[in-house]
Structure 1
Amino acid sequence: MRVPRSLEVWKMGTVNYLDALKLQDKLVSHRKTHKISDTVLSLQHPPTYTLGKRRTDHNLLVPESDLKTIGAELHYTQRGGDITFHGPHQAILYPIISLRDIGLGARNYVEKLELTMIELASLYGVKARAGGVGETGVWVGERKIGAIGVRISSGITSHGLAFNIDPDLNYFKHIVPCGIADKEVTSLRRETDLVLPTEEVIHEQLISCFVRLFAFSDLIWKEDTPILPDNGEAE
């Protein structure tokens, strides 16, 4: 008999990237010491470019000094993967979960993140696929619709996935997305003729796909959660 597993889902709206990074670090620390259960953050960011630990700065195609003029920030992280863009009209999930508790290795974890986005796309008649060799993320034909970049520390995950609902794709012209040249970036809006529901509904559908694939049974929903309370402790 499968043991029920609980997941806290934090619906956070739009969050500054650095605030989300600090929150993830705090939650990872709490998850390692069993102060919290498995948690997933559901949010969006203002326009932000992020680089992974490989520091592939050459894939930023404009001078960093020019980013302010296009309303974007640049941040360096310790996640895997190459440069990517986060912005409005993306659905982002940052799972803070124990892979050891659910018996998953890193590769299987990434595959389930891919399947989470593939299943979401399929709800709208969009046939997406996992990337091939050297192609991280999720693709529709030769067009990338979802990015993945994860960090795993002592079996606890952070960072995660970003699915393009209807972001301004012009932002991707300033980078080599995920280090893959000569490939387009796309969005759910661009790939379907269906009238899309509200973005809140799509965020919730993405969470539902995640929950099913990772076999969580008990969900605890949290909204309007403070990012970092005055005492510096994540609640």
Structure 2
Amino acid sequence: MRIQRNLEVWKMGMVNYLDALKLQEKLVSDRKLGKIPDTLLSLQHPPTYTLGKRKTYHNLLVPEAHLRNMGAELHYTQRGGDITYHGPHQAILYPILSLRDIKLGARMYVENLELVMIELASLYGVSARAGRTGETGVWVEDRKIGAIGVRISSGITSHGLAFNIDPDMNYFKHIVPCGIADKEVTSLKRETEETLPSDEVIQEQLVSCFARSFGFGNILQKEITSEKEELAKGLP
């Protein structure tokens, strides 16, 4: 009989990027020690630009001060990938998984993340594909609809994926998204002919696609009102 794997899903709403980063670090540490099960953070960020561990600052097209004037933040991270933008109306998943437990290598893990976003797009009649050589993320023809940037430490994942539901596309004009200069960025709103439900509904669908792709049979939903409170009181 196939064992049903458990996934704890944290529905977090809008979360400041640095708070989410600190929470991920805590959860990764706890997952390594076996204190928590595989966990998935489902959230959105206020306008935020992030650079990966290669720090490709040249792909930021405006001074950092200009970003602050726009009300956006810039942060450096230890994830893979190039510069990207996170903001409202973008569905973000940060999986804290043990790749050893689910028996996946790094490459297959990333390919599964691609399949998650491809499946979500298909629910709205949008034909998406994985990136070709030199392209990261998920694409609709030559337009990027979803970004991937991951970190794996001692077999435990963090960071993850960001799927564009209907973000303000003007924010992407200030960067070379993911370091690819000659391609556009798009969104589900732009690509589908269907009327979209709320962001919350789409994020729930994204979580369901994730659970199916990674073979999680038992999902425990956890409503989180404040990630700072979780950090302050400590996690089990």
Please report the TM-score for the alignment, with normalisation by the length of structure 1. 0.98
- Matched residue, 1:221: 221
Per-residue deviation, 1:3? 1.4
Partner of 1:144: 144
Contact 1:40 1:94 survives alignment (8 Å): yes
Q: Is the 8 A contact 1:23 1:234 kept in 2?
A: no
Greater shift in the superposed pair: 175-184 or 63-72? 63-72
Measured on the aligned residues, the alpha-carbon RMSD in Å equals 1.0
Deviation at 1:65, TM superposition (A): 1.1
CA contact (8 A) 1:227 1:234 kept: no
Counterpart for residue 173 of structure 1: 173
User: For residues 180 and 235 of structure 2, what CA distance do their matches in structure 1 show?
Assistant: 36
Rounded Cα–Cα distance in structure 1 between residues aligned with 2:211 and 2:225: 20
Residue in 2 that maps onto 1:200: 200
Residue in structure 1 matched with residue 132 of structure 2 by the alignment: 132
Runs ≥4 residues deviating over 6 A = none
Structure 1 unmatched ranges of 5 or more: none
Once residues 66 and 184 of structure 1 are traced to their aligned partners in structure 2, the CA distance between those partners, rounded to angstroms, is 22
SS state at 1:228 partner: helix
Counterpart of 2:73 in structure 1 is: 73
- Equivalent residue number for residue 50 of structure 1: 50
Distance 2:233 2:22 in 1: 10
Once the two structures are superposed, the pairs formed by residues 12-23 of structure 1 within 5 Å of their partners are: 12-23=12-23
Q: Deviations over 1:156-177 (max 9, x none)?
A: 0000000000000000000000
Alpha-carbon distance in 2 for matches of 1:34, 1:72: 36
Distance 2:225 2:160 in 1: 20
- The 3 A distance-change label for structure 1 pair 227 and 174 is same
Could you tell me the percent identity over the aligned residues?
A: 76
CA distance in 1, matches of 2:74, 2:235: 25
Q: Deviations over 1:15-65 (max 9, x none)?
A: 000000000000000000000000000000000000000000000000111
Q: Could you tell me how far apart the structure 2 residues matched to 1:167 and 1:204 are?
A: 18
Match of 1:234 in 2: 235
- Give me the whole-angstrom Cα distance separating, in 2, the residues matched to 1:111 and 1:202: 21
SS of 2:124 mapped into structure 1: coil
CA distance in 2, matches of 1:69, 1:160: 28
- Counterpart of 2:211, as a letter, is V
Counterpart for residue 95 of structure 1? 95
Gaps spanning 5+ residues in structure 2: where?
Answer: none
The Cα shift of 1:225 comes to 4.6
Residue 211 of structure 1 aligns to a residue whose secondary structure is helix
1:209 counterpart residue number = 209
Name the aligned partner's letter for residue 71 of structure 1. Answer: G
**How far apart are 1:234 and its partner, in Å?**
3.2
| Contact residue 10 and residue 225 of structure 1 kept, 8 A | no
Give the residue type in structure 2 aligned to 1:45: H
Equivalent pairs, count: 235
Give the SS at the match of 1:62.
Answer: coil
Deviations 1:138-194 (A, max 9, x none): 000000000000000000000000000000000000000000011100000000111
Matched to 1:115, the amino acid is L
